[in-house]
Each structure stands twice: as C-alpha cells, then as structure tokens.
Amino acid sequence: MVKNIRGKEDNFTLDVSGVQYYTHETQCKSFSSDSEIRMIYYPESTELIKKLTGASKVVLFDHTVRRHRPDDPEESPEKRQ
C-alpha cells in the first residue's frame, strides 16, 4: 500500500513498486473540455505511457474529471467530489 511518497518519489518504479511518479507538463489547457482532453491529453498520455513502460500499444478509453464546486459544501460523503 502506498500512503505517502513525498520526498521519496525516485524510490518508486513500476518494475519494483507497481507505481511510479513522473512530472510532465501537458499542452492541455482546459480540463473542462472533453474534446480538448481527448484531442490533446489522450495522445500525450499515450505517448508518455509508452515512453515510461516500453509498451508498443496503449489504449485510453475513459476519463473522469473531478471538479470542486465552491458553492456546494462537502458535508456528507455522497456530496464529496
């Protein structure tokens, strides 16, 4: 179980830990636009995953964007986003 890798990011690799931390600056400017996510972020993510894993094929099939609504208090578990 991974709880907190802050300051130890380099100690975790996919081969050993099954999880890896990697910083990448995306060209996707708006995560509120599904079409921009599919047209920009999907191809970027696919190429990055190929680069990091050595995979020859990556299939992205879905995404979920979690948004906080400032006027909507998170007072109960079903209201959490």
Q: How far apart are CA 74 and CA 81, in angstroms?
A: 8
Query: What are the pLDDT digits (tens) for 35-58?
Result: 899 999 999 999 999 999 999 999
Q: Is-contact 22 52, C-beta < 8 A?
A: yes
- In the DSSP assignment, the letter for residue 41 is I
Question: Which helix (DSSP H) or strand (DSSP E) does residue 50 occupy?
Answer: helix 42-53
Tally: H helices and E strands in the chain: 3, 0
The pLDDT score that the predictor gives to residue 59 is 95
- pTM for this predicted structure: 0.69
